[in-house]
Amino acid sequence: MGIGNWIKMTRLNSIHPIKAVVFDMDGTLCLPQPWMFPAMREAIGLHDKSVDILAYIDDMSTEEAKLEANRQLEEVEDRAMKQMEPQPGLVELLRFLTLNNMSKNICTRNVIKPVQYLISNFVPKEYSNFEYIVTRDFRPAKPNPDPLLHIAKQLKVHPNEIMMVGDSFDDMRSGRSAGCVTMLLNNHVNKYLLQDHQDLIDNSVDSLADIIGIITSANEN
């Protein structure tokens, strides 16, 4: 374990016990599909990578243009849904959370259809009870803290008792801004986050199953 990971582990172990987990979906509950976001930008004619996709659509001048852009996004998301594969350790972690009566939730910038597809195809029924599922219909979306603060309010828990698990800058920024514990799921395209945005990340893991021991340790302290 490197020094950076040791520091983050120490920070995590010193916080309040974790009562709820909020998962991102794309790249977190399912394997990342790096082609998807460039395809979305291409579909709606957004070539400036510094501009957020949802903000770009929100700023369109007519409702018709917004509807068409959202339709184009959903076509890309449907393609991605059909290629979806579950993240290793998914069932193991959901089993642990269920057996320990910990709240399971999802916060995604996707629409509900792929979320339902993932749950129905890759999550055993006995572990499939997600208390709150917040999609991009909730605005403002990640990286704003609002979706996570909404979930915390509904669950009647303090944000620092929630772990936000994700694989992107948006996930980590949203979690940090809301006051949640942030858990980065490492992959081959997000390594830069540990170097450039370490201040947003409490800990990082290579597999969802690794989170079991971290939560167990945090809740024992």
Ordered domains of the chain (ranges, CATH)? 3-31+86-220 (3.40.50.1000), 36-82 (no CATH)
pLDDT of residue 165: 98
Q: Are strands 162-166 and 103-107 parallel, antiparallel or unpaired?
A: unpaired
What is the pLDDT at residue 161? 97
Inter-axis angle of helices 112-122 and 63-82, nearest 10: 20
pLDDT band at 26 (very low <50, low <70, confident <90, very high): very high
Across the chain, the runs of DSSP E, i.e. the strands, are: 20-23, 103-107, 132-134, 162-166, 181-185, 203-205
Q: With b meaning 16 or more CB within 10 Å and e meaning fewer, what string describes 56-94?
A: ebeeeeeeeeeeebbebbbebbeebbeebeebebbbbbb
At residue 6 the predicted structure's pLDDT band, cuts being 50, 70 and 90, is very low
24 is catalytic: yes
Phi, psi at 82, each rounded to 5°: -70, -20
User: Partners of 166 in the beta sheet?
Assistant: 184
Would you state the pLDDT for residue 16?
73
pLDDT at position 5: 39
Judged by average pLDDT, the poorest of 8-17, 97-106, 204-213 is 8-17
Query: Is-contact 218 12, C-beta < 8 A?
Result: yes
Residue 133 pLDDT > 90, yes or no? yes
Is the pLDDT reported for residue 10 higher than 60?
no
Q: Does residue 16 sit in helix, strand or coil?
A: coil
Would the pLDDT of 34 be above 50? yes
Label residue 15 by pLDDT band (50, 70, 90): low
Do 72 and 99 contact (CB within 8 A), yes or no? Answer: no
What's the rounded mean pLDDT across residues 69-78?
95
Q: What is the pLDDT of residues 167-176, one digit of tens each?
A: 999 999 999 9
Cα 101 off chain centre by: 20
Which residue in the list 24, 167, 171, 202 is annotated as catalytic?
Answer: 24
Given a cut of 60, whether residue 147 has pLDDT beyond it is yes
Q: Is 26 a catalytic residue?
A: yes
pTM, two decimal places: 0.89
Of the two residues 12 and 217, the one the predictor is more confident about is 217
Tell which wins on pLDDT, 7 or 26. Answer: 26
